[in-house]
């Protein structure tokens, strides 16, 4: 089958049978256990799991997909993604496209990124920051079955200090662009922080994203600089929780992360330069760390012609990722799986799983981080993240046994979301 035909087939689910569906494979990972079970067996009825594990009862009238030497597991989750864009190998062209592409074209590009993500086995993502409500529109279109893609929890406009990492005008000539306000996520003071949260919630976001520190790709700050006060972060997190939303903090630097954790943030994103005392505080308070080991970043930035300051920040951040993971594991911090996909191509998340395995994280712990751990962080663990009766029918399969070779995660041969088969052999 050609790639073009395969892509066309993914425009609609491949299965519409009203009969129960039986999935068979050599192995099964249920999202929670500390080992695989064999043989792998999952029974689906409509959009629900009705049986899982070797002892599950196979209905007589079921359709059967026998995958042979493969491993069944829950649909994967990416707790840090940006489906509405993707960086290329040309920094200047990306900058130009951001100004010249219509919102409609950007939305169509986003639908392609969503399909690639679903094809890679990710049936749920947390999308942490987008412009022009493209993430909200994409989420709604996927939910309505208009385009294929993962289930999305979206953040809308990321919140930022003026001139901070998520200020869309930072680094550009004064007066060139309209100076942003809370409707663009840019705030000054605790009251404006609360207002920015309320504005995002008003327009339908699922989660609040705040940029507590500088970043690699921003042009006007140091990567680890603390950019919001304790009072501002306290107000933002308090308001998010009051409105029933979780909150995630982009924080490369230790001081920024410490303020966010004190404020009660649900997760620290990146955490590149965290010190031991911050990791210990996170473990004590149950704050998750989304490590985003962006394995392509440093080399890609250099090839793309990015400004030298950005290239240097990327290299410095990449050099610290392995050390961060080792210390987070040492202190027992909850590590949730997130990739910052957009910096690297959508659909290539498996590469970061390989990196994590190579730097001390056990394969089953990686799979758990991308299933039940992420489900708990995203607040969907009542229905997703594990394979057990009553759960939503999100199931994938990869060739072979990924616990023996994490690169197997690139060989996704089956994707079922909400009981609908979107990809099969």
CATH code for the domain of 162: 3.20.20.140
**Same domain membership, residue 167 and residue 102:** yes
94 and 234, same domain (yes or no): yes
pLDDT at 7: 43
CATH code for the domain of 57 = 2.30.40.10
Cβ neighbour number for residue 383 with a 10 Å cutoff: 13
Statement to judge: residues 392 and 317 lie in one domain: no
**Residues forming a β-bridge with 74:** 395
Kindly state whether residues 342 and 400 are assigned to the same domain: no
Same domain, 71 and 85: no
- Asked if 152 and 211 sit in the same domain, the reply is yes
Boundary residue ending a domain (359, 378, 397): 378
H-helix or E-strand spanning residue 413 = strand 412-417
Which token pair is 387? 């394979």
User: What DSSP line would sit under 316-350, residue for residue?
Assistant: HHHHHHHHHHHHHHHTT--EE----BTSS-TT-TH
Say whether both 96 and 184 belong to one domain. Answer: yes
CA distances to 81, 244, 350, 356, 417 from 124, in Å:
10, 19, 15, 20, 9
Q: Which residues of the chain have pLDDT under 50?
A: 1-11
Residues 104 and 33 in one domain: no
pLDDT of residue 298: 78
What pLDDT is stored for residue 130 in this prediction?
96
- The predicted pLDDT at position 8 comes to 41
Provide the pLDDT for residue 294.
76
pLDDT of residue 33: 94
pLDDT at 220: 80
Can you give the residue range of the structural domain that contains 135?
Answer: 76-378
Residue 289 dihedral angles phi and psi, to the nearest 5°: -115, 120
The tally of CA atoms less than 13 A away on the side-chain side of residue 298 is 12
Query: What are the CA-CA distances from residue 349 to residues 78, 121, 307 (Å)?
Result: 8, 10, 26
Question: Cα 178 from chain centroid?
Answer: 30
Q: Which DSSP category does 365 fall into?
A: H
Q: Are 178 and 299 part of one and the same domain?
A: yes
Q: Are residues 397 and 308 in the same domain?
A: no
Same domain, 163 and 252: yes
Number of domains in the chain: 2
Examine the domain organization and report whether 82 and 202 are in the same domain: yes
Tokens 């799986």, located at residue: 337
Among 183, 204, 203, which residue's Cα sits nearest to residue 195?
183
């Amino acid at each position: 089958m050609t790639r073009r035909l395969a892509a066309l087939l993914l425009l609609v689910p491949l299965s519409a049978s009203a009969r129960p569906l039986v999935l068979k494979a050599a192995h099964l990972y249920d999202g929670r256990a500390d080992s695989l079970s064999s043989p792998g067996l999952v029974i689906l009825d409509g959009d629900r799991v009705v049986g899982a594990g070797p002892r599950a009862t196979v209905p007589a009238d079921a359709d059967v997909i026998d995958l042979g030497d493969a491993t069944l597991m829950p649909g994967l989750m990416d707790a840090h993604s940006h489906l509405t864009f993707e960086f290329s190998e040309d920094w200047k062209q990306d900058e130009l496209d951001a100004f010249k592409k219509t919102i409609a074209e950007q939305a169509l590009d986003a639908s392609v990124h969503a399909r690639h993500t679903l094809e890679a086995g990710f049936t749920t993502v947390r999308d942490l920051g987008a412009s022009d409500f493209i993430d909200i529109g994409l989420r709604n279109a996927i939910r309505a079955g208009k385009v294929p893609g993962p289930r999305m929890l979206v953040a809308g406009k990321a919140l930022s200090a003026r001139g901070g990492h998520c200020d869309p005008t930072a680094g550009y000539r004064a007066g060139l662009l309209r100076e942003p306000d809370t409707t663009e996520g840019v705030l000054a003071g605790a009251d404006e922080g609360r207002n920015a949260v309320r504005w995002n919630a008003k327009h339908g976001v699922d989660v609040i994203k705040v940029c507590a520190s500088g970043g690699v790709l921003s042009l006007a700050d140091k990567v680890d600089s603390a950019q919001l006060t304790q009072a501002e972060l306290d107000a933002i997190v308090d308001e998010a929780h009051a409105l029933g939303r979780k909150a995630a903090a982009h924080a490369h630097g230790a001081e920024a992360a410490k303020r966010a954790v004190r404020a009660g943030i649900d997760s620290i994103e990146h955490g590149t330069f965290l010190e031991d005392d911050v990791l210990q505080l996170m473990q004590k308070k149950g704050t998750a760390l989304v490590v985003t080991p962006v394995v392509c970043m440093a080399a890609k930035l250099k090839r793309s012609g990015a400004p030298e300051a950005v290239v240097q920040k990327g290299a410095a951040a990449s050099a610290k990722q392995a050390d961060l993971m080792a210390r987070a594991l040492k202190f027992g911090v909850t590590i949730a799986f997130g990739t910052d996909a957009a910096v690297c191509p959508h659909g290539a998340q498996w590469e970061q799983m390989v990196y994590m395995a190579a730097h001390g994280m056990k394969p089953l712990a990686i799979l758990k981080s991308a299933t039940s751990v992420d489900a708990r962080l995203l607040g969907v663990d009542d229905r997703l993240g594990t394979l057990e009766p009553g759960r939503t029918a999100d199931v994938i399969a990869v060739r072979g046994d990924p616990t023996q070779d994490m690169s197997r995660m690139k060989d996704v041969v089956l994707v079922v979301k909400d009981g609908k088969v979107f990809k099969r052999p």
